[in-house]
């Protein structure tokens, strides 16, 4: 039964991929959050390139959205495209400067490119916006930030 459901979802994803050539706007395609969910399913099935191919056209056609920027940045990090991920996350941060998820992802990206201090700053800033963000605390510990300095 699970396999049948998964096959149906994959068929829908193929249809979404075809839809990516159309202009996205909220009056025609309300809430492209479905694209983000579809990309996550594609990534889970091992198709990171397909997931990226689904989100890139949406990003080109839509005004900057923090969720879309974060989702595509995570996919880029997954594919070791750190410069592109960093650019998207900095854009997301400029749109919503105190978004804890953006800041968490920014920390992960900075850590991946070897910017330890930038990662620590991003993790700490994410905790200012959401003090109970467990992953930010875990990642701070991983990069060696002292507990006393964590908000």
Which of the 8 DSSP states describes residue 140? H
C-alpha 110/C-alpha 139 separation (Å) is: 12
Report pLDDT for 45.
Answer: 86
Identify the CA nearest to 27 among candidates 62, 72, 67: 62
Reported as a single tens digit per residue, the pLDDT across 117-134 is 999 999 999 999 999 989
Which 3-state string (H, E, C) describes 25-64? CCCCCCCCHHHHHHHHHHHHCCCHHHHHHHHHHHHHHCCC
pLDDT of 77 reads 92
**Tens-binned pLDDT, residue by residue, of the chain (151 aa):** 345 554 555 555 555 544 443 333 343 344 567 777 888 888 888 889 989 998 898 888 877 888 889 999 999 999 999 999 999 999 999 999 999 999 999 999 999 999 999 999 999 999 999 999 899 999 999 898 655 444 5
Residue 28, pLDDT score: 39
Residue 8: per-residue pLDDT: 58
Q: Is 113 helix (H, G, I), strand (E, B) or coil?
A: coil
Q: Does residue 53 contact residue 34 with C-beta atoms inside 8 Å?
A: no
Cα distances from 110 to residues 92, 104, 106, in angstroms, run: 15, 10, 6
Is the CB of residue 57 less than 8 Å from the CB of residue 21? Answer: yes
């Amino acid at each position: 039964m699970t396999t049948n459901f998964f096959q149906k979802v994959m068929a829908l994803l193929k249809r979404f991929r075809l839809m990516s050539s159309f202009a996205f706007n909220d009056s025609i395609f309300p809430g492209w959050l479905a694209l983000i969910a579809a990309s996550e399913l594609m990534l889970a099935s091992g198709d990171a390139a397909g997931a990226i191919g689904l989100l890139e056209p949406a990003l080109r056609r839509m005004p900057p959205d923090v969720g879309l920027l974060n989702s595509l940045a995570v996919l880029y990090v997954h594919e070791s495209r750190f410069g592109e991920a960093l650019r998207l996350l900095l854009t997301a941060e400029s749109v919503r400067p105190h978004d804890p998820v953006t800041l968490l992802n920014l920390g992960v990206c900075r850590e991946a490119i070897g910017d330890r201090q930038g990662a620590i700053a991003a993790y700490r800033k994410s905790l200012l916006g959401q003090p109970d963000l467990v992953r930010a605390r875990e990642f701070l510990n991983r990069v060696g930030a002292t507990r006393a300095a964590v908000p």
